[in-house]
Amino acid sequence: MAGIIARLFASLGLDATRQAALFRVRAKLTLRQFTRQQGRIVGFIVMLVVFTPLVLGAAFGSALGYLRLPQPWPAQLLGMVLVVLWAIWIVLPVLAFRLNEGLDLTRLLVYPLRIRDLVASTLLGTLLDFPTYLVLPLFVAVFVGWGRTWAWPVVLVGLLLGYAHMVIMSQLVLTAGGGLLRSRRFRDISIVILSLLGSSCYFLNQGIQALARRVDRQQLLNFHPLDYVQWLPTGAIARAIEQATNGAWGAALLWLLYSLVLLVGIIWLWWQLLLRLVTGAGFISTPQRERPAAQPLPRRAPVSTGKAVSLWRWLPDGVHQIFLKELRAIWRIPQRRIGLIQGVLMPVLLSVFIFFGRQRPTFLLSPWFGLGLAGYAVFTTWFTTINMLGWEGKALPMLLVTPLPRHQIFLGKALAMLLVLALPITVFALVLAFLLQSWFSLAGWLAAIGASLATMAVTTVASVLFPAPINLESTSRQSGFSGGCLTALGNIFVVPLAIALICSPLVALFAAAFWWEQDWLVAVGVVVVLLYGAGVFGLGVYLAERLMVQREAEIIAATRQPDMG
């Protein structure tokens, strides 16, 4: 087997020994990602469970379309599938989702390796990436639908060319972006755009439905997208497969040759940009401005704290400083800022969806619906306050060397987060109060505050028991599966179960009020929830402080970013 592979590499002008060495290096780097950050294993399993059925369903549907659709729609579907996959491999790296990692070629240029060996190692290394196996079922569906005739060699070559186009174009985009894609400003903008798009699915769906209603069915049947996308690299492959299936071998070979020429041109452009980037002249890299000569700083007048700050002067000084620091961090760190924006937008979007949508419910919601604010508060509090120590990033050791009592650190953080969480809860309460015209919305708002305090008691203790590293310079939203396997399992399973257990008395109290329809029990329940939430929160802070004294070294080690080099 090894001899066959060596002869195959030799026929392509590649060095089999060097390819094997590069592949082993790539395999070791992939394995190191899981051994040094074992929480990735849990994330990988979750992604496997979520995306595998979707991909298999898409593959089955596309294969059925290739076999059952009337002409000329099988070829049109093939062109759209290949072009969409190619576009995904272009767009997602720009939006900070790495599909195919590969080796860092800027570090390999110092070795006596030929260009063809480096390009081949980039393509072969993607066999160790998870997205490769997501696209594989779709390629198998193409072969099932089109490889049942003598055209199967064209189908096979076309799929190999298509995959090479996807990988190389992805690398070209990352290289061409240079410093732009790694800049802090681009990172902030991409996070905000992606999150707002995710929060606007309802409006996007309404827009697509409105557009679909305006499309004439006859015009849609006469529209052949392959006539337009055939000039794209993977669209040409779809046209070649169609021509080969129809027996037009000359046209099929010309389309394959066209796609191959485009691939060679893209590889050449990628390589030239890579060389320029190594020499310090990135293609679209952010310009480096010359620093002006140092000037003496002007004397500044003392800054007045203002009334806004004086409102919180009743807090102990340590709690007050942590409180202000946490508010600034929530706004300055883009991953946390977008969480705040989404928290405010989500109640508004839900209200629009429920009450003002095209298919709004014909029934009237019960006033008891206002008490559901407590459940909404539990979810948002868990999502926002989990791993609060990890969000300190590299500044955590500096925070822990301060002589502040540890309970003041937790109190300051919790009060800042509670203030931030109160904003979307208040928006939702006002919307419900306007729509339901019931004092239960006010009761639900107060119960939500108590439920948030009870939830933060759990997440505060969990931040000490299950701390995870967070890269604040990352260009994407942070995953909840970072850290070791125990940390990931704790944050995914143990923490939600503990929150459910802590909040179960609150649920039972309001469930009893709803079952017996006793309004006075709701008023009593609000007082009980506030006192219960404050008491549980105080107990959680006390327990977290005791644990922190014993685990500070372990927490610092657990939140340190792993060295992936």
Residue 273 has pLDDT above 50, yes or no: yes
pLDDT in tens, 71-84: 888 888 998 999 99
**Rounded mean pLDDT, 171-195:** 61
Question: pLDDT tens across 313-352, in order?
Answer: 677 888 888 888 888 887 777 667 666 666 555 655 555 5
Q: Give the pLDDT mean for 253-273.
A: 88
Higher pLDDT, 232 or 514: 232
Domain count, the chain: 2
Instruction: Report the mean per-residue pLDDT for the chain.
Output: 76
Alpha-carbon torsion 162, 167, 170, 175, what sign? negative
Highest mean pLDDT among 164-168, 219-223, 456-460: 456-460
Q: Which among 241-255, 295-309, 551-565 has the top mean pLDDT?
A: 241-255
**Does residue 7 lie in a domain region?**
no
Q: Does residue 171 belong to any structural domain of this protein?
A: yes
Instruction: List, for residues 493-542, the tens digit of each pLDDT value.
Output: 889 999 999 988 888 888 888 788 777 888 888 888 899 999 999 999 99
Question: pTM of the prediction?
Answer: 0.55
Most confident of 255-269, 276-290, 519-533: 255-269
Could you tell me if residue 5 is inside a domain? no
Task: Examine the domain organization and report whether 260 and 161 are in the same domain.
Answer: yes
Q: Are 415 and 385 in contact (CB under 8 A)?
A: no
d(CA 64, CA 141): 9
Residue 415 has pLDDT above 50, yes or no: yes
Q: Is the pLDDT of residue 110 over 80?
A: no
Of residues 329 and 221, the one with the higher pLDDT is 329
Judge whether 508 lies within some domain: yes
Does residue 4 lie within any of the structural domains? no
Q: How far is CA 412 from CA 48, 367, 409, 417, in A?
A: 39, 35, 5, 9
Shared domain check, 434 and 328: yes
Report which residue type is found at 331. W
Where does a domain end: 252, 278, 304? 278
Confidence tier at 107 by pLDDT (50, 70, 90): low
Number of Cβ within 10 Å of residue 446's Cβ equals 19
Residue 215 and residue 71 share a domain: yes
Q: What is the mean pLDDT of residues 181-209?
A: 57
If asked whether residues 125 and 196 sit together in one domain, one would say yes
| pLDDT for residue 98 is more than 70 | no
Q: Is the pLDDT of residue 303 over 50?
A: no
For residue 360, being part of any structural domain is answered with: no
Instruction: Tell whether 253 and 336 lie within a shared domain.
Output: no
- Residue 368: pLDDT band with limits 50, 70, 90: confident
Coil vs helix vs strand at 382: helix
Same domain, 191 and 323: no
Picking from 249, 278, 307, the residue at the C-terminal end of a domain is 278
383 and 335 in a common domain = yes
Mean pLDDT computed over 460-478:
74
Is residue 80 assigned to a domain? yes
Q: What is the pLDDT of residue 539?
A: 94
Does a structural domain hold residue 287?
Answer: no
DSSP state of 231: T
pLDDT band at residue 363 under the 50/70/90 scheme: very low
Please report, rounded to a whole number, the percentage of residues in the chain having pLDDT higher than 90: 12
State whether 272 and 323 are in the same domain. Answer: no
The mean pLDDT value for 230-248 works out to 90
- Say yes or no: 342 and 467 in one domain: yes
| Same domain (yes/no): 52, 103 | yes
Specify the higher pLDDT residue, 131 or 239: 239
Per the model's pLDDT, the better-predicted residue between 194 and 63 turns out to be 63
Give the residue numbers spanning the domain of 144.
39-278
Q: Which residue has the higher pLDDT, 75 or 17?
A: 75
Length of the chain: 565
- Interhelix angle 519-559/406-436, rounded to 10 degrees, is 140
Q: Centre a 10 Å sphere on the Cβ of residue 291 and count the other Cβ atoms it contains.
A: 6
Q: Are residues 328 and 468 in the same domain?
A: yes
Residue range 277-297: average pLDDT? 50
pLDDT (0 to 100) of residue 445:
87
- Please tell me the predicted confidence (pLDDT) of residue 283: 45
| Residue finishing a domain among 255, 278, 301 | 278
Are residues 336 and 272 part of one domain?
Answer: no
- 360 versus 61: the higher-pLDDT residue is 61
